[in-house]
Chain A
């Protein structure tokens, strides 16, 4: 037993040495994902999207229209960047992308509102960027509704209704929204670490695809044979070295995200690491299987990336799985990335308990077993 352990340790040490000497693999595994995380934090450094650039056209210029303008200016989600002179200019500013929202207060606005006829304001929203557009629609809806209610309340007060009663009569049901698990609707919390993990899993796939193809044509293979290290022990030890490498690469990401950037973590660090380890094993199994099926390292990396690149989109982490067609939802479940990113979301944001997470762990473990078995079969056929 001790002899086997010694042999295994020797292969692990050899594999680490090989990984370290291959400067490309070293950089890819240990530097690229950390750089990505830093870059993504810089991209999302404002964290939330406030102060949507807004252009306003006031065709009325009465105290009532100024009051309306004041409501728009007071809205923390909108930032008036220009008071346009005419509609053409307002359109141009939106077309150029200098503003996302355009608000037009019509002529006779003050007269119609004061005269009880009611008036209609027009809002134009650039829908080409949905992150902006969804926020903009909510912001403009709230401003218009609140302002309209305030005017209605004044009218009721003029008819002798008490202020509180008038207010509750027109805005009886208050909408109280409570975002759970990410209470400030912080984009950095939602996307940065997940994207860095996406890059990390791509780096892991690249490394894993070298598991078998890396040994092809190497003279050292004969030496290993001469040392009487079985194929199983050899590849088990190699895989162990890779998986340790994957975990060493992901730990700094977690330290930076949760330790330095103080991202919320609902589960314990040990639970998250354990779950990541299961995924690391399954992604390594997938890479090894590709490595066993391909003739050379370049093809292996290519095939590995054919799966690794779109898998994040299909995982449902950003665009929800429920919004995809049913057959795509089913197909996505064949990728370990889907189970990992779904489970990662549950663990990090919600920590719903072991029972809920068990299926994710079991499926990832099952996939790992299947990939390694297929690798063995493919390697046996090739040899």
Chain B
């Protein structure tokens, strides 16, 4: 035990003696969370700039324009007089969508001939495109209901009859877990786990390469301390700091990003401990086998985008190619991202997280074995050139 604590103490000293490493361990996770959080803090894309081409200039067309103006989701820009102008402004990125009200709009609706309102939107960004489609559909549905009610009233129907005709089947929807469809609630927890994954694994991955570059790793190898003690001693400070960062980032998202972190604290702690053990152990394993800190730095930092993309956190795994799904399933981030969504966002209990916890536990055991079992014989020629850390 004493040997482990000595190594852990020595490692902690190293962290605090290196200014940049100290920043990486203690400041960078929160820094990243804050910078990325600022982008998502508003979370809902409203006041979408749209233009309306009213070719009818009737009472009803003006009513539709007003409906769009009154919708908080849209911000109607003036001065779009014709289709060409609308097309140009959408092309230049000044407008995200355009509504075209056709000629004879009011006449056709009043005479029950039917008419079409065109909603053209910039689909080069699908996040805004789906928002526009959904909200425009709601605005037009509202107008339809109002016009239909007028028609039915004209046929002599009573108010009750009109209601029952229009709402033969009315519809109520509940959106669970993210009722306002806030983008931050959707994406931010996954990004936080990626920050923990990357910083946790990277800092641990420098623990041995640094010794190698100082030619002090040989002292560990030649000492009578067994590999598993070296592993525990070296990774302990990173485990503690990563766990602290995990809690800090969850607190940050709840406090500053208005993300309601639900679920049992016990489950969140358990998930955090397993994930931290995995990333730190894998980081140590990489460090034992990597040549230099430069090599680790270059490769490790490139992992975040591919890991995030294949995890299924945004694009569902069911829609991916089979081999990508299989590959994603052996990665700890995939399971942690899913676990944090189930526990923190959906607030589900152990009965729903059983499989996630089992897989993460298995991964933790494997990664601990990978980290703790390494040969103490140094390969010839594996000692790197001196480098300054």
Cβ A130 vs Cβ B140 within 8 A: no
Is there a chain B Cβ closer than 8 Å to A121's Cβ?
A: yes
Asked whether B1 is an interface residue with its Cβ less than 8 Å from the other chain, the reply is no
Contact call A203/B324, Cβ cutoff below 8 A:
no
Q: Within the complex, which residue of A127, A168, A170, A319 is in contact with B113, where a contact is CB–CB below 8 Å?
A: A168
Interface flag for B219 (CB, 8 Å): no
Most interface-central of B24, B48, B316, B318 (chain A CB within 10 A): B316
Residues from chain B with a CB closer than 8 A to the CB of A317 are 125
Q: Which of B35-89 contact A (CB under 8 A)?
A: 35-36, 38-42, 44-45, 47-49, 64, 88
CA distance A127 to B176 in the complex (A): 5
B 83-107 binary contact with A (CB < 8 Å = 1; else 0): 0000010111100100000000000
From known contacts A168-B112, A322-B49, infer whether A116 and B39 are also in contact, taking CB-CB under 8 Å. Answer: no
Q: Which of B40, B124, B131, B168 contacts A151 (CB 8 A)?
A: B168
Alpha-carbon distance A118/B160, docked complex (angstroms): 10
Residues of B within 8 A of A96 (CB): 352
**Cβ 8 A contact of B178, one of A128, A306, A352:** A128
The answer, yes or no, to whether B382 is at the interface (CB within 8 Å) is no
The yes or no answer to B143 lying at the interface (CB within 8 A) is yes
- Given A28-B298, A328-B38, A350-B91, answer yes or no on A125-B113 (Cβ-Cβ < 8 Å): no
Chain B 329-360 per-residue mask, 1 if CB under 8 angstroms from chain A, else 0 = 00000000000011001101000100000000
Interface residue? B117 (CB, 8 A):
yes
Contact A310 B175 (CB under 8 A): no
| Closest-CB distance, B315 to chain A (whole angstroms) | 6
Complex CA–CA separation, A267 to B302 (angstroms): 30
Q: Please, which residues of chain A bring their CB within 8 A of the CB of B123?
A: 179-183, 185, 190
Q: Given A152-B166, A190-B124, A320-B128, are A129 and B316 also a contact pair (CB < 8 Å)?
A: yes
- Give min CB distance, A214 to chain B, whole Å: 10
Q: Is B169 a contact partner of A296 (Cβ separation < 8 A)?
A: no
**Would A182 and B126 count as touching, CB distance under 8 A?**
yes
Inside 8 A of B240's CB, which chain A residues have their CB?
Answer: none
Query: Among the listed A126, A171, A299, A342, which residue makes an inter-chain contact with B177, where contact means beta carbons less than 8 Å apart?
Result: A126
A314 within 8 A of B: yes
Asked whether B163 lies within 8 Å of A118 as measured between CB atoms, the reply is yes
Least distance between A263 CB and chain B CB atoms (Å): 12
Verify if B281 is at the interface (C-beta below 8 Å from A). no
Give the complex CA separation of A165 and B114 in angstroms.
Answer: 9
Chain A 283-325 interface 0/1 with B at a Cβ cutoff of 8 Å (1 = within):
0000000000001111101100110011011100111101111
Q: In whole Å, how far is B16's beta carbon from the nearest beta carbon of chain A? A: 17
Q: Are A179 and B319 within 8 A (Cβ)?
A: no
A42 touches B320 (CB 8 A): yes
Q: How far is the CB of A180 from chain B (nearest CB, A)?
A: 5
The reply to whether B169 and A113 contact each other, CB–CB distance below 8 Å, is yes
Contact A328–B39 (Cβ < 8 Å):
yes
Residue pair A320, B127 in contact (C-beta under 8 Å) = yes
B164 within 8 A of A: yes
Contact string against B for A residues 163-175, beta-carbon threshold 8 Å, 1 for contact and 0 otherwise: 0110111111111
Residue A108 interfacial (CB < 8 Å): no
8 A Cβ contacts from A35-51 to B: 36, 39-40, 42-46, 49
Could you give, for residues 136-165 of chain B, a 1 whenever the CB lies within 8 Å of some chain A CB and a 0 otherwise? 111011011001100110010000010111
Determine the chain B residues whose CB is within 8 A of the CB of A122 once the complex forms.
172-174
A176 within 8 A of B: yes
Q: Are the C-beta atoms of A309 and B124 separated by less than 8 Å? A: no
Bound-complex Cα distance A24 to B15 (A): 26
Q: B348 touching A180 by the CB < 8 A rule?
A: no
Interface string of B308-330 (1 = CB under 8 A from A): 01100011101111011000000
User: In chain A between 159 and 218, which residues have their CB closer than 8 angstroms to a CB of chain B?
Assistant: 159, 161, 164-165, 167-183, 185, 187, 190-191, 195, 198-199, 202-203, 206
Query: Are A199 and B305 CB-contacts (below 8 A) given A173-B109, A182-B124, A310-B35?
Result: yes
Q: A151-B168, A319-B183, A328-B39 are in contact. Are A202 and B174 (CB under 8 A)?
A: no
- Rounded to whole angstroms, the CA-CA distance of A124 and B178 in the bound complex is 12
Q: Which residue of A lies closest to B313 (CB)?
A: A129
Q: Pick the most buried of B126, B133, B183, B297: most chain A CB atoms within 10 A of its CB.
A: B126
B297 CB contacts on chain A under 8 angstroms: 298, 301-302, 305
Q: How far is the CB of B4 from chain A (nearest CB, A)?
A: 28
Q: Are A134 and B131 in contact (CB under 8 A)?
A: yes
Q: Give bound CA distance, A342 to B125, whole Å.
A: 11
Tell me the nearest residue of chain B to A355, going by C-beta.
B92
With A180-B120, A350-B91 as contacts: A43 and B309 at CB distance below 8 Å: yes
Whether B134 pairs with A134 at a CB distance below 8 angstroms is: yes
Q: Can you name the residue of chain A whose Cβ is closest to the Cβ of B32? A: A310
* Residue contact B352 to A302, C-beta cutoff 8 Å: no
Q: Are A49 and B293 in contact (CB under 8 A)?
A: no
Q: Is the CB of A309 within 8 A of B301?
A: yes
Tell me, in angstroms, the Cα distance from A87 to B294 when the chains sit together. Answer: 56
> Complex formed: what's the CA distance from A248 to B218 in Å?
41
Chain A residue with the shortest CB-CB distance to B206: A298
| List of B residues within 8 angstroms of A140 by Cβ | 171, 173
- Quick one: closest A residue to B143, CB to CB? A173
Partner of B298, one of A24, A42, A97, A127: A24
- In the bound complex, do residue A169 and residue B148 qualify as a contact, i.e. CB atoms below 8 Å apart? yes
**Residue contact A43 to B133, C-beta cutoff 8 Å:** no
The answer to whether the Cβ of B119 comes within 8 Å of any Cβ in the partner chain is yes
Beta-carbon contact of B42 and A125 below 8 Å: no
Give min CB distance, A315 to chain B, whole Å: 9
- Chain B residues packing against A (C-beta within 8 Å): 20, 24, 28, 32, 35-36, 38-42, 44-45, 47-49, 64, 88, 90-93, 96, 108-109, 112-131, 133-134, 136-138, 140-141, 143-144, 147-148, 151-152, 155, 161, 163-179, 181, 183, 185-187, 191, 293-295, 297-299, 301-302, 304-306, 309-310, 314-316, 318-321, 323-324, 341-342, 345-346, 348, 352, 387-389
26 A-B contacts, Cβ less than 8 Å apart?
A24-B298, A24-B299, A43-B310, A43-B321, A44-B315, A94-B176, A120-B172, A121-B170, A125-B173, A126-B177, A127-B177, A130-B181, A130-B186, A130-B187, A133-B178, A159-B155, A161-B155, A172-B148, A173-B64, A178-B121, A180-B120, A185-B123, A206-B298, A297-B387, A345-B125, A352-B92
Q: A130-B186, A190-B126, A319-B127 are in contact. List 16 more A-B contacts (CB 8 A).
A: A121-B170, A125-B173, A127-B177, A137-B134, A147-B169, A165-B112, A167-B114, A169-B148, A173-B144, A180-B123, A182-B124, A298-B389, A319-B45, A320-B127, A324-B41, A352-B93
Task: Tell me the A residues contacting B by CB distance below 8 Å.
Answer: 24-25, 28, 32, 36, 39-40, 42-46, 49, 53, 68, 94-97, 113, 116-135, 137-138, 140-142, 144-145, 147-148, 151-152, 155-156, 159, 161, 164-165, 167-183, 185, 187, 190-191, 195, 198-199, 202-203, 206, 295-299, 301-302, 305-306, 309-310, 312-314, 317-320, 322-325, 328, 332, 342, 345-346, 348-352, 356
